[in-house]
Amino acid sequence: MILKSTLDGLASVLFAAPCRICDQALTNASRIPICETCLAGFRRIADPMCHCCGRPFVSAVAAESVQALCRLCRLDFYAFDRARSFAIYDDALSEAVVLLKYEQVTRLGVWFADRLAEIVRQAPDEWQADIVVPVPLHMERQRERGYNQAELIARPLAKRLNLRLETALLVRTKPRPAQLVLSRTEHWKSVRGAYATWEGRKVDNVRVLLVDDVLTTGATLDACARALKKAGASVILGLTVGRVRSWTNPPAAAGRRGKTNTQGKPDEHPEHQ
């Protein structure tokens, strides 16, 4: 018995799991398989950014304009009212999202929820909400995986903000196409009309805080926002952990108008699959 526990102790020292991002041995006991340095190193998104969709501005000039809105938000393109993300979806953050998505590291979901709660607390008036809703997976996908990674973030976030979590309000009615890589246009098409409220549930005048892991084009949040507004919701606020750096090509306006986006790059980090 003593020998066994000694061996266990030795093994835990010798084979301690390294940080999943930088491979350094983990010294913290937080049960998040990412070291403190890497956790502190995610590239947080800060001003200047579009006041509405949170798209980071490259130049300060755009941010200095009166409304500080990106081209799409000036056209009132998105159905959601506001969106923000914690950090740029780079290699490090994508490693972390993989842990949420495929390994159900709930502690990491809590850590991300804390970061999103910080965004809310910085501007409480702008982030007033009644309920928290995770972007749902298609039922088949959820059955396969056994859980919804967006819920791993939304549940602790709702708790932090003292709001009700609604996991049975929104459903994904259309499955994601089987192909792994989608162009931007295909991506917009694949989520358009893909969400609905459960059995026509109404949410009249409700302010919804929508939560997802990654924002790529905004198509997913947009499609969810349309379904929720159709059901009566008054305001849709979106929060995601990661945000894919926007390409220089202006995004899906082309897709929305039914044109082919010939220059659309493959979507390497599809939203919410």
Residues lying near Zn ion in the complex (CB under 5 A) are found at 19, 21-22, 35, 38, 50, 52-53, 55, 70, 73
Decide whether 95 or 130 has the Cβ nearer to Zn ion: 95
CB of 78 to Zn ion, least distance (A): 7
Structure tokens at 21: 């991002």
Residue with tokens 């939203």: 271
Decide whether 73 or 137 has the Cβ nearer to Zn ion: 73
Distance CA 240, CA 255 (A): 23
214 DSSP 8-state letter:
E
CB of 247 to Zn ion, least distance (A): 14
**Nearest C-alpha neighbor of 122 from the set 54, 187, 183, 22:** 54
Decide whether 92 or 150 has the Cβ nearer to Zn ion: 92
CB of 159 to Zn ion, least distance (A): 27
CB of 34 to Zn ion, least distance (A): 6
CB of 105 to Zn ion, least distance (A): 14
The answer to whether 170 touches 200, Cβ cutoff 8 Å, is: no
Dihedral over Cα of 203, 206, 209, 214: its sign: positive
Structure tokens at 191: 């989520």
198 DSSP 8-state letter:
G
Structure tokens at 77: 């393109």
Decide whether 50 or 224 has the Cβ nearer to Zn ion: 50
The answer to whether 170 touches 231, Cβ cutoff 8 Å, is: no
Decide whether 73 or 224 has the Cβ nearer to Zn ion: 73
